[in-house]
Amino acid sequence: MPSDVFHDPTRSAPLSGLLVVDLTRLLPGPLAARLLADLGARVVKVEDPRGGDPVRAAAPLVDGASPLAALLLGGLESVTLDLKEAASVAALLELLAGTDVLLESFRPGTLARLGLAPTMLRQRFPRLVVCSVSGWGQEGPYAARAGHDLTYQAVGGALAATGAPPALPVADVVGAWAAVAAVLAALVARERGGGGAEGRGAWIDAALLDAAVHANVTGWAAHAAGATAVGEPLPLTGALPCYGVYRTRDGRKLALGALEPHFWARFCGAAGRPDLKSLQYAVDDDARREVTELVASHDRDEWVQLLAAHDVPVEPLLALGEAEAHPQVVARDLVRRGEDGLPRLGFPARFDGVRPRGGEEVPELGADNARVFGGPAAE
């Protein structure tokens, strides 16, 4: 594998030549745009001239800059348009004439009120792929309802097993990936289906509720075996003694993933407790207590060294600073620091050994108006 995989866009930019116009804000839509940029697409971010995407000011701030903005907006182009003004709508329509993908995250019906209904856009620009990222979807009784990642996961059942706020914004992140997958599929269908200029785009309805439901695939499998209540752990969320997080003697935590019988047998043998082999799938407090007390009898790193030597899936729980310095994370070039000192994340896959990556610099609000529109800022 090449050692310097983070900066060679010519080696792996499969979407080079595609133009994406991004009307989204906050996390899911901008993450989808960033992923497309990493894959080589040119992304023009259209922002409100009155402050732009709120992600620019998302806390925490480091020397006045938002790390989240650095992660999401690096390498994009920024233009400002007030879409409540007819001249700005006209400028956007002119831009869309040469656009491959339009991302938007307004509430359903908002684009139509602005004179930019997706159905109209599809008729006017047949090759355009319109991806509408919304919380609840474009139809249904909740379509116009307010929401956030937490509420989509709550309704989708993704929080049921723990009954607690999630460690990750799963609906937002999986929703972004689902949107990207749908966009890529629509682009492939456009090229295969119509051929040349006659290929047709699509209107994609990407709902974060859908993502929350789909991300909980193991939960749905467990639910099929019997209804579960909120707060009732499932096999992969703490119900099984062989698969969970335990506190060690030194007050640190250990992730034990001995889900398969051969891994559990190795764990019991290495720990000197062959009597625990029968408790691997026991769903009761006593079994969990036995393993809890066993793990608490040694320090975290002692367990890691012992169990790794016996090929048992076990790792320490790391803070983000520790994760950034982990040798495998470093070897994979997953996290790097930009010139501003803020983190940048590598696209989580490689193409022929090369990790695709878009640009790094976060554009100033409206910095590309003149270049994109051929004149001063259109507001």
C-alpha–C-alpha distance, residues 172 and 165, integer Å = 14
C-alpha–C-alpha distance, residues 52 and 32, integer Å = 18
Residue 129, by phi and psi: left (phi above 0), alpha (psi -120 to 50) or beta?
beta
Count Cα atoms within 13 angstroms, Cβ side, for 196. 0
Please give the full DSSP string across 120-145, using - where no structure is assigned.
HHHHHSTT-EEEEEESS-SSSTTTT-
The CB density around residue 47, as the number of other CB atoms within 10 Å, is 21
C-alpha–C-alpha distance, residues 369 and 359, integer Å = 18
How far CA 97 is from CA of 47, 100, 134, in Å, comes to: 19, 9, 24
The CB density around residue 224, as the number of other CB atoms within 10 Å, is 8
151: which 2 tokens?
């509420």
C-alpha–C-alpha distance, residues 126 and 114, integer Å = 20
Confirm whether 148 is a catalytic residue. Answer: yes
Which element (helix H / strand E) includes 325?
A: helix 320-325
Please give the full DSSP string across 162-176, using - where no structure is assigned.
T-S--SS-HHHHHHH
Confirm whether 299 is a catalytic residue. Answer: no
Please give the full DSSP string across 336-377, using - where no structure is assigned.
EE-TTS-EEE--SS-BTTB------PPPPTTTTHHHHHSSS-
Cis preceding-peptide flag for 166 (omega within 30 of 0): no
Question: What is the radius of gyration, based on Cα positions, of the chain?
Answer: 24
- For residue 80, give the DSSP letter: E
The pairing of beta strand 19-22 with beta strand 42-47: parallel
Q: Which of 8, 148, 214, 223 is catalytic?
A: 148
Q: Which of 22, 149, 172, 210 is catalytic?
A: 172
Using the structure block, give the residue that is written with the tokens 């698969």.
243
The set of catalytic residues is 148, 172
